[in-house]
Structure 1
Amino acid sequence: MDRKEKVKILERHFGIKSKYLGALSFAYEIQTDGETYTIDREGRIILKSGEERQLEEILEPRPEEVEAQAELGVELEIPMDGHQGNTLRNILNLIYSKQPLIKKVLGIEEDLVETDFIEALKEERVKSIDSFEKALNKIGYNGHPGVDFDFENKTFTFKHAKGEAAIWLFALINKKAKTQKFSQVKQTETDNEKYTFRTWLNSLGMIGKDYGEIRKELLENLSGNPSFRHPKREEA
């Protein structure tokens, strides 16, 4: 990705027009209420403190943003910036693979992604966002009621992101989807829901004390033992 693409992505993300700083630095600058982002001639994004920041880090919701959205009880809307068609498909595949557990975690009955839809999408060649949109149109029905795609505004929305824990779950699913070339579509069968879901949360990056309360809340409605794969065997 060249620096002009990065500038355009940041402009859309913040809703602020960049300023070109001229021939001495050849840099672009974007000023928000709390930060100044300078995109230098090499395409690096530099904060006013001099620290370099990756584009993906800026696009991810900050903890204070997650808390604010949780208090409002709103759905989680995320820009498509940084995504390709295959990574948007990864989001649906990741959700589908753990859907029975995610539904229990969120306390909902309806599927977020339908099986017939996933099977149909699996047959489509998807690389770019345009090809992903065409694939959805070809399939011809909304088989992903838990995730809404707005191709006109280049955003997508998780419909069941109510509460801080759910927002973090979907935010990390989004982040994981960007890093994977392919994600499995087979649903996981388990006799220890808490252990299976906890290890999956770890794979999403929900690791460490900072996520302790969030993990606890997400595991609350599940059965089993989060610490041991076979708890009875460990107790024996």
Structure 2
Amino acid sequence: EVIRALRKAGAFTNSSCGIHIHLDGQPHTPRSIRNFVNIIYARNDLFYKALGIEASRARYCKRMDEHLVATMNRKKPTTFAKIESIWYEGYRGNRDAHYHDSRYHFLNLHSFFHGHKTVELRGFNSTLHAGEVRSYIVLALALNTQALSQSSASTKKPQAENEKFAMRTYLNRIGFIGDEFKACREHLTKRLSGSAAWRRRVAA
């Protein structure tokens, strides 16, 4: 209703804007933050296509850095201080700066370490379509829950020959089941190729 009210009042967006979703960082532990990094890394390509991230915005929500992910999984840091050190590795400048270069990733932990202790997801295009905005919020909450609840998370990327099937099965896994989430599933798979019902079609 909020989005519809904004649209009715004359609000507008353009392709240079993005929607950033901040999640409460208080419940997170070093383990769950590592999980979040791995979850996003494993599905970066799939999420970029599913969300239709505009090329003009890609530099503001970059994919997870492979070196960072590899270092995180090799060292398996057990404290926030150690994760912070890995996150800022290779960057210059004051970490307290609001517009620190490290923030411009799909998953932003700069806001967690030197902001309002939130985990930020930046990979959403601007829109005033209420259904799309809801799908973004529900996805962000589901990803957060997955990171918090799992004992570990793999960096293995899903199969790529049938994107729609890969996304649908992943969404089911993180709770997008039933009519309540039907519209969300449709919004999050409509840009992907393949079949949501079958991974491979077998010739008769």
Q: Normalising to structure 2: TM-score of the pair? A: 0.72
Residue of structure 1 in register with 2:75 after alignment: 124
1:146 paired with 2:106, answer yes
Residue of structure 1 in register with 2:86 after alignment: 135
Residue of structure 2 in register with 1:96 after alignment: 41
Q: Which amino acid aligns with 1:140?
A: G
**Alpha-carbon deviation of 1:116?**
2.5
1:159 paired with 2:122, answer yes
Structure having the higher Rg: 1
Residue of structure 1 in register with 2:63 after alignment: 112
Residue of structure 2 in register with 1:223 after alignment: 193
Counterparts in 2 of 1:140 and 1:86: CA distance versus 1, 3 Å: farther
Q: Normalising to structure 1: TM-score of the pair? A: 0.63
Task: Provide the rounded CA distance (Å) in 2 between the counterparts of 1:91 and 1:220.
Answer: 25
CA contact (8 A) 1:78 1:156 kept: yes
Q: Which amino acid aligns with 1:168?
A: V
Q: Secondary structure at the match of 2:143?
A: helix
CA RMSD of aligned residues (A): 2.6
Structure 1 alignment gaps of length 5 or more: 1-63
Residue of structure 1 in register with 2:156 after alignment: 186
Structure 2 alignment gaps of length 5 or more: 12-17, 92-101, 126-132
Q: Secondary structure at the match of 2:23?
A: strand
Q: Secondary structure at the match of 1:161?
A: strand
| Bigger RCO of structures 1 and 2 (CA < 8 A, at least 6 apart) | 2
Task: Provide the rounded CA distance (Å) in 1 between the counterparts of 2:190 and 2:180.
Answer: 17
Where do residues 165-184 of structure 1 align in structure 2 (5 Å cutoff)?
A: 165-184=135-154
Residue of structure 1 in register with 2:175 after alignment: 205
- The number of aligned residues is 168
Counterparts in 2 of 1:188 and 1:113: CA distance versus 1, 3 Å: same
